[in-house]
Amino acid sequence: METRIELALETTGTSDADGAQAEVDALVRPADDPPPGSPVVVTLRGQLSERAVRPLVQRLHALLVRHGGVVADVSAVELTHSGAVHAFAEAAARAGEWPDVRLAVAGPDATLTALLVSSRVAERVLVHPDVAAAVAHLDDRPELLRGYWHFAVDPRAPGDARGHVRRVCRRWGIDEDAREAAEIVVTELVTNAVEHASSASVVEVWRRDRSLRLMVRDFDLAEVPGAHLPDPTAPRGRGLAMVAAVAQDWGVEPHRDGKTVWAQMETV
């Protein structure tokens, strides 16, 4: 049986993570703590405002890390800021990846439901008409699975990135060919960031239907490389040749402070 707690959005003013965890610990007493895998139903009350977003993310994040599965009952919530719906997706993303992290929103009214859909939050967080349905389907896979990690300028970064990608691909049921391609892509791109760009990097991987998309963001201000194979004697660019060889499609998106190289693979 799931544990039920309440959070009043008007009183979620603590902005530090330690305070958020302390309030969660006070709300969920050890004697009431559900066993691993048992869901926690959090009834939210009050106004879901811009001010409430950050502390709400912290509280949901703390509960997700602690319990894995959380149902947020929003039937008593008054939405006063449309952007606040992103709090649910952000909390889930910070806590980890599906299936270790499972968050559902239950009981939204018509306006909130429409915003969850139009903002695409509903692609990453399950949305159900009531708590019973949300609890029953909490283990269902969302439409969009996402993982992301930050890496410093460190020679261990390519191997660490490869390990993360391997882990989530296996958990998400990615076939071996697509998984190996993703591992090659992330290894080459993070190696480029470390060895050639001397840049930190952000790795992001998505699964939607039969598509696996991997993105590596760096902060190298050098000219964005073209989508072509490099000369064999060129000091840079061979990583992109490997990406082009194993991906179904790939590209480069420039930013003011760097670039994102993305690659897409098909999976079963």
pLDDT tens readout for residues 33-87: 555 557 899 999 999 999 999 999 999 999 999 999 999 999 999 999 999 999 9
Cα angle value 145/15/58 (rounded, 5°):
25
Helix axes 17-27, 50-67, angle to 10 degrees: 60
**What's the pLDDT band for 120 if we cut at 50, 70, 90?**
very high
* Chain-centre distance for alpha carbon 68: 14
Cα 259 to chain centroid distance, Å, stands at: 20
Q: Quick check: 10 pLDDT over 60?
A: yes
Mean pLDDT of the chain: 88
CB contact set of 212 (below 8 Å; sequence gap of 6+):
169, 174, 178, 182, 205, 206, 264, 265, 266, 267
The pair of three-digit structure tokens given for residue 32, joined into one six-digit string? 């009431």
| pLDDT score for 137 | 96
Q: Is 238 helix (H, G, I), strand (E, B) or coil?
A: helix
Over residues 142-167, mean pLDDT: 97
pLDDT score recorded for residue 15:
47
Q: Which two tokens stand for residue 125?
A: 């967080």
What are the chain's domains?
Answer: 3-136 (3.30.750.24), 145-266 (3.30.565.10)
- Mean pLDDT (whole number) for 205-232: 81
The band of 258, judged by pLDDT with boundaries at 50, 70 and 90, is very high
The strands making up 126-128's β-sheet, listed across from edge to edge, are: 3-8, 40-48, 69-79, 102-106, 126-128
pLDDT band at 197 (very low <50, low <70, confident <90, very high): confident
Residue 268 confidence (pLDDT)? 86
Q: What tens digit of pLDDT does each residue of 78-117 get?
A: 999 999 999 999 999 999 999 999 999 999 999 999 999 9
Please give the C-alpha separations between residue 56 and each of 14, 32, 91, 163, 213, in angstroms, as whole numbers: 10, 21, 8, 31, 29
pLDDT of 32 strictly over 90: no
**Which region among 61-70, 136-145, 229-238, 240-249 has the lowest average model confidence (pLDDT)?**
229-238
